[in-house]
Amino acid sequence: MSLKPSIPKGTKDYLPDNLHKRNYLKKILRETFEIFGFLPIETPSFERNETLIGKYGEHGDRLIFKILNSGDKLKKADIKSLEKEDVIRFSNSLSEKALRYDLTVPLARFVSQHRNEISFPFRRYQMQNVWRADRPQKGRFQEFLQCDVDIVGSKSILQEVEIILMCENIFSRLNLKNISVNLNHRKILEGVAIFIGVKDKFLKLTSSLDKLDKIGMDGVINELENQEFSKRSIDLLIPFLDNKGSFKSKIDFLSRKLKDIEVAKEGLDDLFSIYSKINKFKLNCISVNLDINLARGLDYYTGLILEVVPDKGEFDFGSIAGGGRYDNLTDFFGLKDTSGFGISFGFDRINLMLEKLKLFPKDLSKSSKVMFVNFEDQITDQYLQEILKLRERGVACEIYPTKSKLKKQLDYANQRKIPFVIMIGSDELSKKEFVIKNMETGTQSVHKSINLIDEIMKLI
């Protein structure tokens, strides 16, 4: 009995055509990150459980893939907790390490561990896979590539400005236009909470605000009523829910409304300062907006919050990048006061956009440009020398490995999208000639053998 070949749910094989595109996008991101002064790091696929667990909330913790201990260590399995149906404790007794869930916690661990080997502010990028035991669904995988860029160890809002400008640069290189970079600030949200008198319900408030796009104003109000927000609070909130107008007009509105709230002023100062700096640049691909209801990552972000979204209509997904300012990245590891700003790009979604909008350059394929047909062993041996010369000149080429029927060999070239095929049979050999077949047009041309390399170089 043979096994039906298959992969675990939620995972994906990448075939060459697909990989060429992914590698193109990776290359653009990598190059842009480096031009903006960011350096690459890589961390191990698995981290100690102590490093990961407890960092992503209860829900997140459940989505961490743990590595099963092996050998005698397994004998320490805590059977009693299994009997008590305490699955978490049972699984903790079976495992010491886990696959990374994101690149942020590994960054925090890395910065703390290597604090004496790196220079601050530490500008790093990292492009590695992460794993999440999410329920597999269309377009969502359990293993996916994350692309994170962070500057750690500086409070300057120049960081925010630089990363927003980097977005413009990336999307410009990818020919992606009409991208919104939406900003908000934790301290403005805190100001609003104080203003409407729900300072102690900050996370409840922001969690509802974050859903405004999905559930609408009525939905938000409904949710807040259910969470026992007073009518007065909700009435005070309503003007903030209307998120229209220019960046400047929203700043003005917020400054008026929240003028007596110190924390809000700090947030508004940051935002205005970022806005003024960015405003001096001509932006072709991104527009920078203030989104009063943007409220993501508030268990973590302490300053600016940022979200990058393509214009509605074309794509049925939300953001293609997100980030923010954090002040306590490395506290957990005993390294205090490392403020930083970071952004994470949604590689698969950007990839999908390029695919849908047909923005991948043509001829990304790295397939051989030339294939030599295999007629006779003796001739083949002579080819090999020429093929090697072509390769030395950087021409990707190959020889069909066996003396199969011509049709079979040409079919192979077709399937592999090899544009030119070289044919030398005994007839051509005796005449010291060779034939080039253009696989796209089907035309053939005869040339002198002595010019083989030159003629082929002309084609490429």
Q: Which of residues 196-255 bind a second copy (CB under 8 A)?
A: none
Q: Where are the alpha helices (DSSP H) in 367-451?
A: 377-392, 406-415, 426-431
Q: How far apart are CA 40 and CA 127, in angstroms?
A: 8
Cis peptide before 16 (omega within 30 of 0): no
Q: Which of 26, 113, 234, 447 binds a second copy (CB under 8 A)?
A: 113
Which phi and psi (to 5°) does residue 223 adopt? -65, -40
Decide: is 299 part of the binding site for a second copy (CB under 8 A): no
Nearest to 346 by CA among 197, 200, 139, 158: 139
- Closer CB to a second copy, 66 or 187, in the complex: 66
From 152-160, 203-211, 342-350, 443-451, span contacting a second copy (CB under 8 A): 152-160
- Closer CB to a second copy, 69 or 243, in the complex: 69
The binding track of 344-383 with respect to a second copy, each residue x by CB under 8 A or -, is ----------------------xxx--x--x-----xx--
CB of 193 to a second copy, least distance (A): 30
- What crossing angle do the helices spanning 377-392 and 452-459 adopt, rounded to 10°? 60
Q: Which of 121, 323, 324, 342 binds a second copy (CB under 8 A)?
A: 121
Decide: is 129 part of the binding site for a second copy (CB under 8 A): yes
CB of 117 to a second copy, least distance (A): 6
Q: Are the C-beta atoms of residues 97 and 70 closer than 8 Å to each other?
A: no
CB neighbour burial string for 34-70, b if at least 16 within 10 angstroms, e if fewer: eebebeebebebbbebebbbebbeeeeeeebbbeebe
CB of 206 to a second copy, least distance (A): 28
Q: How far apart are CA 198 and CA 200, in angstroms?
A: 5
Q: Which residues pair with 344 in a beta bridge?
A: 148, 322
Alpha carbon distance, N-terminus to C-terminus of the chain: 48
CB of 42 to a second copy, least distance (A): 4
Burial zone of 167 (CB within 10 Å; 0-12 exposed, 13-18 middle, 19+ buried): buried
CB of 255 to a second copy, least distance (A): 21
Decide: is 332 part of the binding site for a second copy (CB under 8 A): yes
Contacts for 437 with CB less than 8 Å, ≥ 6 apart: 410, 420, 421, 422, 423, 443, 444
- Closer CB to a second copy, 87 or 446, in the complex: 87
Q: Which of 123, 186, 296, 325 binds a second copy (CB under 8 A)?
A: 123
**Range 251-280, binding a second copy (CB under 8 A):** 277, 280
Q: How far apart are CA 327 and CA 154, in angstroms?
A: 10
CB of 75 to a second copy, least distance (A): 7
- Closer CB to a second copy, 199 or 393, in the complex: 393
Q: Which residues pair with 326 in a beta bridge?
A: 340
* Dihedral sign for Cα atoms in the order 450, 453, 457, 460: positive
- Closer CB to a second copy, 202 or 300, in the complex: 300
Total number of residues binding a second copy (CB under 8 A)?
112
Q: How far apart are CA 207 and CA 184, in angstroms?
A: 14
Q: How far apart are CA 460 and CA 446, in angstroms?
A: 17
**Range 45-74, binding a second copy (CB under 8 A):** 45-48, 50-51, 62, 65-68, 70-72, 74
Decide: is 185 part of the binding site for a second copy (CB under 8 A): no
The binding track of 4-43 with respect to a second copy, each residue x by CB under 8 A or -, is xxxxx--xxxxxx--xx--x----------xxxx-xxxxx
Decide: is 99 part of the binding site for a second copy (CB under 8 A): yes
Q: Which residues pair with 310 in a beta bridge?
A: 179
- Closer CB to a second copy, 317 or 333, in the complex: 333
**Range 154-173, binding a second copy (CB under 8 A):** 154-156, 158-159, 161-162, 165, 169
Q: Which of 53, 56, 95, 189 binds a second copy (CB under 8 A)?
A: 95
**Range 378-417, binding a second copy (CB under 8 A):** 380-381, 384-385, 388, 391-392, 394-399, 401-402, 411-412, 415-416
CB of 403 to a second copy, least distance (A): 9
- Closer CB to a second copy, 331 or 355, in the complex: 331
